[in-house]
Amino acid sequence: MNWKQFLTEKVLNGCWHERVQVGDILNMRSECSCGKPDYLGTANDHINRTFDNRSDLMDLYEKVYEDGKWDDFFWDFAFKRKPENYGLGEAETSVWLFCLNGKDYEEKCRMVAEFYGWEEKA
């Protein structure tokens, strides 16, 4: 399972969409892994999160907070990973963590996946 699928299913309790082939050789059809045929619903019904934007990052941080894990995430996980050039204080860590420079969302989203136990398989 890749880290984006992990975040979607295990952290945010959403559905990761992938095309799957169902049926026998004569009646083969394609549908989404969520169980809906591709032709039903709107196009947005079958789009996965990209985890490279502010909205996805904030949804993840909100989930960490709702799970009662914010202090562990902030102090024991993120604080130790922040680059040295950001200083050592809480304010500098917050600026880095919340991507106030408008970039690096994907890196922080992946960090949340690792915090929740996702590991990259070699």
Domain extent listing, the chain: 11-46, 54-115
- Please give the Cα distance from 58 to 24 (Å, whole number): 43
Q: How far apart are CA 83 and CA 62, in angstroms?
A: 23
For residue range 99-112, what is the model confidence (pLDDT) as tens digits?
999 999 999 999 99
Q: Is the pLDDT of residue 31 over 70?
A: no
Q: What is the mean pLDDT of residues 69-93?
A: 81
Q: Is the pLDDT of residue 64 over 70?
A: yes
pLDDT score for 22: 63
Better-scored residue on pLDDT, 28 or 97 = 97
Q: What is the pLDDT of residue 70?
A: 95
State the pTM of this model.
0.81
Residue pair 4/11 in contact (Cβ under 8 Å)? The answer is no
